[in-house]
Amino acid sequence: MASDKHFDEVTGTETTGHVWDGDLRELNKPLPKWWLYVLYACIVWSIGYWAVYPAWPTMSDYTKGYWNYSQRAAVTQEVADAKAAQDKYRVALSQTPLADVGKNPELLQFALAGGQATFGENCAACHGRGAQGGVGYPNLNDDDWIWGGQLDNIQQTISYGIRSGHAKTRDSAMPRFGLDGALDAAKIGDVANYVRSLSGLEADKTAAGRGAAVFAENCAVCHGADGKGNQELGAPNLTDGIWLYGNGQENVVTSISTGRGGIMPAWDARLDPVSVKMLAVYVHSLGGGK
């Protein structure tokens, strides 16, 4: 036996006896036995998991474990708990008039947070994550409102939608002046020049002059004689710096020729009244609320 032993010269430690590449040896530094026992204890412990947690698949099901634990059940419970924790605020919100939510900082904070979450899930698809909108989809951050920017205006729009088919929907129709032959191309060009001149955009002055008469005759009934629009009818203000469908001459010509009429779904069937209320508060808070 003694001849089997080999000791490393530098450290004086016995080697394992294995030799690689002719001279490479491994020092034998045995682990303590308790370390091994800890490993065995961990294995025994882990077997306990089979017993208490879901572990083995069966033909049609799986072993449920002694604790009958399920992550799905746990998360359902957590969601229910979170809802229960929100109840206090939701009840208070349902009892608070919309205009008074802002007077209670705690309630306001809850409504803003809840509104933001609801917005992200339901509204962001069209209006964008930051409510910045896009061509044809209004930017909700700005101070220009087609159907009104007061809290109750916003709440109504969210609840019943715009041209949504809901009985109480906001509705109006802009005529297709070009397509339906009400105005010829020359008149449309003139009135487009006039409309652009209203907001200080570069326009052909002569054409705009001719367009003024066309405007008074065809457009002023909804958009107002001064072009400042009418929120009752969802007729946009044409004198400001915000253009939902673009402010280029060709954009305005298209709008007049084909008419415009965005559609927004009614949310009262999909969202509960408190969520709509929170959304209204949130949208109003984005900066343009009146």
Partner 1 sequence: MNVMQDHKKLTPDDFISEAAPGVTQHHVEAIARKKSLTPGVDAGPGKMAYASRQHIYPKAAKGTFRNVKWAIMAFTLGVYYLVPWIRWDRGPGLPDQAILFDFAHQRLYFGPLEIWAQEFYYVTGLLVISALGLFLVTSVAGRVWCGYACPQTVWTDLMIAVERFWQGDRNAHIRLDAGPWNFERIWKKTATHLSWLLIGLATGGALVFYFRDAPTLAVELFNGTAPSVAYAFLGIFAFSTYLLGGIAREQVCIYMCPWPRIQGAMLDRNSLLVSYREAIGEPRGPHKKNQSWEGRGDCVDCKACVAVCPMGIDIRNGSQLECIQCALCIDACNEIMDKVGRPRGLIAYTTEHNLASASAAPREGLKLLRPRTILYSAVIALVCGLMGWALYTRADLEISVLADRNPQYVALSDGGLRNGYTIKISNKTEVVRKVRIAVSGIPGIATSMIGFEGSDPVIEIPQADVRAVKLFVTLPRDARGKLHGTSTPLDITVTDTTSGVNSARHTSFHGPEHDRHHDDKHGQEKKDQDKKDRDKKDD
Binding characters for partner 1, 218-237, by CB under 8 A (x = yes):
-------------------x
Task: Judge residue 177's burial from the number of C-beta atoms within 10 Å of its C-beta, 0-12 exposed, 13-18 middle, 19 or more buried.
Answer: buried
Spatial separation of the C-alpha atoms in residues 219 and 227, rounded to whole Å: 8
- From the list 5, 29, 9, 1, the residue with the least C-alpha distance to 17 is 5
Task: Give the type of residue at 287.
Answer: G
Contact between 268 and partner 1 (CB under 8 A)?
no
The DSSP letter of residue 76 is: H
Within 136-155, the residues that bind partner 1 by CB under 8 A are 139, 141-144
List the one residue from 97, 248, 261, 273 that touches partner 1 (CB under 8 A).
248
Contact between 32 and partner 1 (CB under 8 A)?
yes
Within 187-216, the residues that bind partner 1 by CB under 8 A are 199-202
- From the list 132, 147, 57, 97, the residue with the least C-alpha distance to 286 is 132
Phi-psi region of 162 (alpha: psi -120 to 50; beta: other; left: phi over 0): beta
Smallest distance from the beta carbon of 251 to partner 1, in angstroms? Answer: 8
Contact window for partner 1 (CB under 8 A) among 2-10, 48-56, 158-166, 217-225: 2-10
Contact window for partner 1 (CB under 8 A) among 43-51, 101-109, 177-185, 256-264: 101-109
List the one residue from 220, 231, 242, 260 that touches partner 1 (CB under 8 A).
242
- From the list 276, 7, 274, 3, the residue with the least C-alpha distance to 122 is 276
Within 41-100, the residues that bind partner 1 by CB under 8 A are none
Phi-psi region of 200 (alpha: psi -120 to 50; beta: other; left: phi over 0): left
Contact between 40 and partner 1 (CB under 8 A)?
no
- From the list 174, 285, 153, 187, the residue with the least C-alpha distance to 219 is 174
List residues near partner 1 by CB under 8 A.
4-5, 7, 11-14, 16-17, 28, 30-36, 102, 105, 108, 128-130, 132-135, 139, 141-144, 199-202, 237, 240-243, 246-248, 285, 287-288
